[in-house]
Amino acid sequence: MKRSATNGAVAAAQAQGVGKATGLIRNPPPVRPRAGLSAFLGGTVSAFSMAVVTGFLLLVNGSFVLVFLHSISETGPAWIRREDVLQFALFVVPLLMVVAQWMIWDRVRGLLSKRYVENDPWNST
């Protein structure tokens, strides 16, 4: 009896360990990328939501920096009262804070994701 192409593909995937349980972690089958309109809408919604979150973070960070600079300029050194220093700090510091916040979020998300656990070099299972 001849094996069909799909049975052969399943057997080949199982031989590579796809879908088999190894220790406590199950190796999921590869994810097929979405195609067409759903992929476009998913990417658009994702980009829009990231832009909204980034805008919100810039607003909050800018508010914190403004309050901090105002409190420091009253009691701090004379150079911090200069308008060009205040403008530069008010522009750059919130941007750096957003970059740091996204890097922290990316690291935490990576630590909590399954993919990171499966590829963890310290995982002995």
* Residues 81-116 pLDDT 10s: 888 989 999 999 999 999 999 999 988 888 887 665
* Residues 15-46 pLDDT 10s: 555 555 555 566 666 666 667 788 888 889 99
29 lies in a domain?
Answer: no
Q: How many whole angstroms separate alpha carbon 94 and alpha carbon 89?
A: 8
| 3-state SS, residue 14 | helix
Q: How many whole angstroms separate alpha carbon 23 and alpha carbon 6?
A: 27
**Structural domain of 102:** 36-125
45 lies in a domain?
Answer: yes
pTM: 0.58
For CA atoms 119, 122, 124, 125, the dihedral sign is negative
Say if residues 117 and 22 touch (Cβ distance below 8 Å). Answer: no
Span between the terminal Cα atoms of the chain, in Å: 38
24 lies in a domain?
Answer: no
Q: How many structural domains does the chain have?
A: 1
16 lies in a domain?
Answer: no
19 lies in a domain?
Answer: no
15 lies in a domain?
Answer: no
